[in-house]
Structure 1
């Protein structure tokens, strides 16, 4: 996936910060320099050169900048994904020559000490929506998702010990749990998009194949390609019959692959016990920018922060 010059997709999350010891106070997102806070925990971790993780392929996910934006009332974390082993990028153009149209390609060479990189902003509101829960948006960038940055934030909080109270000096720490905000329903999505595949899965039977002690069955899958029209008007009836029949034959999990009207695809889970009800799922929101955005920055980009903060404000409204 290529990043656009003037637009970004953002995915919305509710971030839950909870003290490991239930008797301890909640750690606020931000506080004065003399008090404990989530921002101080993450900033301390970053300054200690520990706010990073190395992936199995050698790529590095790293927190490189933090900004406390008092005007927009948000805290912003900027993450990099750097790939030492990535191939150098290529550019192409079509040129009309005497012999006909030709495609010319050009490769950008990196220096020996450089790594190809992209960056992503996590914009967190400083206003809690319930005790310990804060709204946020994550800029969608290839290779940087919540599953990659969650361990970095979690480790920073795990190492940040604070007392239970002014009187009780026993220490605790804060846990971190992000949850994608379900903002789209399947009925509306299928009025504008289309259904591609349905995937059924279940735990495989131990005697499904003769493993001779070398292998152990895990899950088995069946993919169903959609032949007739399934849309926002009839999907509930269609899935009521499908799931009811499949459950009777031992299938336990049901996922649908849909194409959305923004040319993106999303896999949505259909609950085996609520298959006749409306289904909500997490959808990314597109934000347009007047300025030209770069794929990677070493400092927080104010325009991107403003776009993310606007999305957060729209949820409050």
Structure 2
């Protein structure tokens, strides 16, 4: 078993990719609750989910938003959390989200237009509508959290930090003076490294990687089941095609394509369909299968999905082929 391929990192042990002057108060996010004396201000480093969590925690502690500086090398697309809650109460939101994704794909005439439609439909969220996100890692936030994040006005969009000096921050896009008695909160660690994908099954080695976008724990359980239920390595890898971790904004397309391809292959296996229905980590298979025929509202959404899925998959393949990534 190779569980280290994606090189998991946590904030408490992460080594930042920039130099730090010893005079500065530099802490991982974990140490925020240990602060005794309020500083003059906070500088949160990192525009991903950890940075979001740090900002929200500070605001919950009644820190003045004007005392928070947020270093955001790349703005991010976020997912509305209510659309991913695996319970009957939120099933309508989940189905609407899925239908909206298919309809956005079907109607979009370009990749830019696709993201415009995904945002308009509430599938994707961003903090500032005047800034085009260049990152998507599948992070979720709620609408209430988005309102809170918008209270932060001092957002620095000058690329990554090169070094933190005693009197200034040196970033890719310029320099900013550092005020005394500020605490720098490191939220720059990538939880999982975006390593090159390899076959999950190879001889006696199982290399853990995602098989469904945004669902790492489910993926591990699914891989374990396939290992025990199937013998042929080619078949196991066909059922467990790697869905690469997203990083760039357009990786939403890449993640969607991989997830849909796997889902298509799984539906051909009655044994897998049964396993998914009974697996609590899957979340939605049993909810979808058990929708009453007389539930007009949910059946109407399912009809939207059925009407859009084929043209959506055709457009998804087209957009996927258009993508080019810089190294």
Query: When the two structures are superposed, what TM-score results if normalisation uses the length of structure 1?
Result: 0.23
Q: Between Structure 1 and Structure 2, which shows a larger proportion of strand residues?
A: 1
